[in-house]
Amino acid sequence: MGKTGTTSIQETAFHALDASAPVGYFPKTALHIGSHVELVPKHGSYDENALAAGFEKIRSDTRDFLISCELIGSDVQIIEAIQQKARKYFNGRLRAIITLRPPSEWYRSNFRQKVKTGRYLIGESFGGFVERVNYPGFKLVRTWQQHLGDDVRVLQYQRDNFLSKFFSVLGLRSQHFAALDRTANISLNEHQTQYLRMMDEKAGEAGRTAQNYRGSFNLESLITKNLDAHRLPPLEAGPQHALKCLDMEYERRLEEWRKCKLLLE
C-alpha cells in the first residue's frame, strides 16, 4: 500500500542490496496498466525484449526475488496476472507482504503526497479528501488472502526501524546492504503542504488538479526552505469521528490478524 515506506524499500533494494544477499531485486519494478499487464521499469520506457531478458536472467538464478510495487492494489485482474508471471518466469511460490499503517496516519500522509505531486483537486479540504477516498488496507488484505491464502502476511509501517524489519522478514541483515543516502520521496510537512495549496489556489482553478498550474515550481526549494510557511496553520483536523472509527477498526483487524498469525511483529 502506498505511503507505507514503499519508496524506501525500492530505493534500498535497488541501490544497496549486495550481490551476496540471498534475495535479489528485479530493478525498479512497477505495473504498467493499459491494454495489457506487464512488469516494467518504474522510471523507464516499456521494452519487451529487455523485460524478457530480465526475467530469463532471474529464472536462471536460484535466489528468491523481491518485486515491490504499491500500484498493484486489490485489482483481481492484476493479482491474477502477477500469479501467472510468477508461475511462468519464477517457477515457484508467490508470497505477499502487505504493508499497512493506521488510517488516520495514512490519510494525512497521502493527502500531503497528493498536494506535493499536484494530483489533488484544488480547493478540496483534507476532510473532503477523507470523504472522497476509501482507505484501501482492509480490502487489500482480504483480496490477496482470497488468492494466496496462507502465503499472505501483514506488516505494520512504523517509521523507526521499518526497513530493517521489512528486510529481516526476507532473511536479510544489515551486512547485505551498502551505505545509502535515503532522500527519496521527501515528504512535505503540514505547513509546507498548506503553502503549496495556497499557491495552487492563486494560480489554478477550483475543482481541477494542480498539475496543469504548477509551472516551474521548485519543490526541492519548497521542501528544504521555510518560505514563511510556518506562519500558515497546519492541515485541518478532518472528520475526527470517521477517522477514529477507522482507526478502531484497524486495531480490531490487527488483533484478528495477530491471532491467526497473519501479522508480522
SS (H, E, C) 161-187: CHHHHHHHHCCCCHHHECCCCCCCCCC
Confidence at residue 143, expressed as pLDDT on a 0 to 100 scale: 95
Count H helices, E strands: the chain? 10, 7
| Residues 32, 96: Cα–Cα separation, whole Å | 19
Type of residue at 90: F
Q: Which residue has the cell 489533488?
A: 120
| Residues 236, 217: Cα–Cα separation, whole Å | 24
Per-residue cell: 179: 551505505
Helix%, strand%, coil% for the chain, nearest 5: 50, 10, 40
Q: Which residue has the cell 511462468?
A: 88
| Residues 95, 17: Cα–Cα separation, whole Å | 20
Confidence at residue 126, expressed as pLDDT on a 0 to 100 scale: 93
Q: Which residue has the cell 497546519?
A: 234
* Residue whose C-alpha is closest to residue 227's, from 251, 248, 196: 196
CB 89 within 8 A of CB 55: yes
| Residues 116, 130: Cα–Cα separation, whole Å | 17
CB 23 within 8 A of CB 58: no
Per-residue pLDDT of the chain (265 residues; tens, 9 = 90+): 888 888 777 777 776 666 666 666 655 443 333 323 334 334 334 445 555 555 566 665 556 777 777 767 787 877 777 777 677 776 667 889 999 999 999 999 999 989 888 888 898 999 999 999 999 999 999 999 999 999 999 999 988 788 888 888 877 776 666 555 555 567 788 888 888 888 888 888 888 888 877 766 666 566 656 556 567 777 888 899 999 999 999 999 999 999 999 999 8
Report field, pTM of the whole predicted structure over 0.85:
no
